[in-house]
Homo-oligomer: A and B are copies of this chain.
Amino acid sequence: MGTTSELQSLDKLVSNSLSGQDLQEFNRIHYGRISNHELEIKKNNILFGNENHFEIAAYKFPANKEETRKPRIVKVGVIQNSIAIPTDQPVTKQRCAIFEKIRKIIETAADEGVNILCLQEAWSMPFAFCTREKQPWCEFAESALEGPSTIFLKEFAVKYGMVIISPILERDEVHGDTIWNTAVVINEMGNTGHPVFETSFGKVAVNICYGRHHPLNWLMFGINGAEIVFNPSATVAGLSEHLWAVEARNAAIANSYFTCAINRVGTEKFPNEFTSGDGKPAHKEFGHFYGSSYVTAPDGSRTPGLSRVMDGLLIAELDLNLCRQIKDKWGFGMTQRLDLYVSSLSKAVNHDYEPQVVPRD
């Protein structure tokens, strides 16, 4: 489903064109560290990835040793994937085909010791929201508790002792068959607000797609104690590619936690033409989902991104102690003066708010 004319990876393009001192300076300034701290991947998994056309990349974010706390090492994995068969095939067949490719990537993640795994937004279906058509796409919606995706993933969660975050289109039968853009934390579930999930491997939260544009949204997850915030997304080159490296990374910096930005891959063709509210003629493709999933640490350093065109598994070994170490070092929580902003914002939302403007003489 990928288009071969697409650039494979901006990160690789730049890295491959530099060497020696220049490459070191690029790494230091762009990624925030001279070495990417690559983790070794098992040979059989590299082979398996090549055979099955998915990329595997693995990096490490160490923290300093402390006297009173042990290292809190956790391995997170994020998966980016294209759809598996054309969108005019039966819904169940499309989902099963995605399950089959995801199964292989999850087995690989498990074999590499991943503790917390997060899939992309609406991972088990094409990103059909762009068509604004309801049928047949709403038939992909499923119960968060006992739908096919949850049943499929539960098996792995139990078998490998993994926490799996599954962003799906939910059909909420308890609340009048409502459709939600949901993330299921297996085996736990969240709804409104900014819930943080306590897992065996640390406190995690999920900020779905568009939510990455709002700094206050990221802030509340931090206030509620998140140590890793996943941002499962589905976004295309023309909309957002130059923002992709900025927003989730800024959130990690501003809130002293890890962020994992996950984007779908490939170009998805739909049976019927549709418009995108941009004055352009009707089309059958929304654009190229550019993948490029990456992980940022609380100190602002980041991994290279996964491919722009291939399915991929990105693994990052984190020491969660780094969160508090950076809070202590940078002191943003101490200096952000939330109480002041409660007062400023409560004034700002009033209908008769007067902006603080110093007029011209």
* Minimum CB–CB distance for A319 against chain B, Å: 19
State whether A242 and B357 are in contact (beta carbons under 8 Å apart), knowing that A214-B336, A330-B213 are contacts in the complex: no
Which B-chain residue is minimally distant from A252 (CB atoms)? B246
Chain A: interface size category: 35 or more
Whether A18 contacts B26 by the Cβ 8 Å rule is no
Is B254 within 8 A of A358, CB to CB?
no
- Complex CA gap A188/B216 in Å reads 31
Say yes or no: is A134 at the interface (Cβ < 8 Å to chain B). no
Within 8 A of B (CB), among A314-348: 330, 332, 335-336, 338-339, 341-342, 344-346, 348
A282 to chain B, nearest CB (A): 20
Within 8 A of B (CB), among A239-296: 241-243, 245-247, 249-250, 253-254
A223–B219 CA distance with the chains assembled, in angstroms: 18
Of A69-77, A105-113, A166-174, A195-203, the one with at least 4 CB within 8 A of chain B = A195-203
A194 contacts across to B, CB distance below 8 A: 344, 356
Q: Contacts A195-B358, A357-B224 hold; do A243 and B10 have CB atoms under 8 A apart?
A: no
Interface string of A216-244 (1 = CB under 8 A from B): 10111001110000000000000001110
A163-184 vs B: 1/0 string, CB under 8 Å?
Answer: 0000000000000000000000
Question: Is A349 on the interface with B (CB-CB < 8 A)?
Answer: yes
* Integer count of this chain's copies in the complex: 2
A-B complex: 4 closest residue pairs judged by Cβ atoms: A32-B242, A215-B215, A250-B250, A224-B355
Which one of B199, B301, B345, B356 contacts A345 once the chains associate, using CB atoms below 8 Å? B345
With A198-B360, A348-B338, A360-B200 as contacts: A254 and B215 at CB distance below 8 Å: yes
Q: Is A158 an interface residue (CB 8 A)?
A: no
**A13 at the B interface (CB under 8 A):** yes
- Considering the complex, give the chain B residue whose CB is closest to the CB of A296: B246
Q: A22-B13, A358-B196 are in contact. Are A345 and B348 (CB under 8 A)?
A: no
Do B342 and A225 touch (CB < 8 A)?
no
**B28 and A13 within 8 A (CB):** no
State whether the Cβ of A41 lies closer than 8 Å to any Cβ in chain B: no
**Bound: A360/B198 CA distance, A:** 5
Q: Given A220-B341, A344-B194, A355-B225, decide whether A242 and B28 contact each other with a Cβ distance below 8 A.
A: yes
Contact flag A13-B18 (CB < 8 Å), given A203-B357, A242-B28: yes
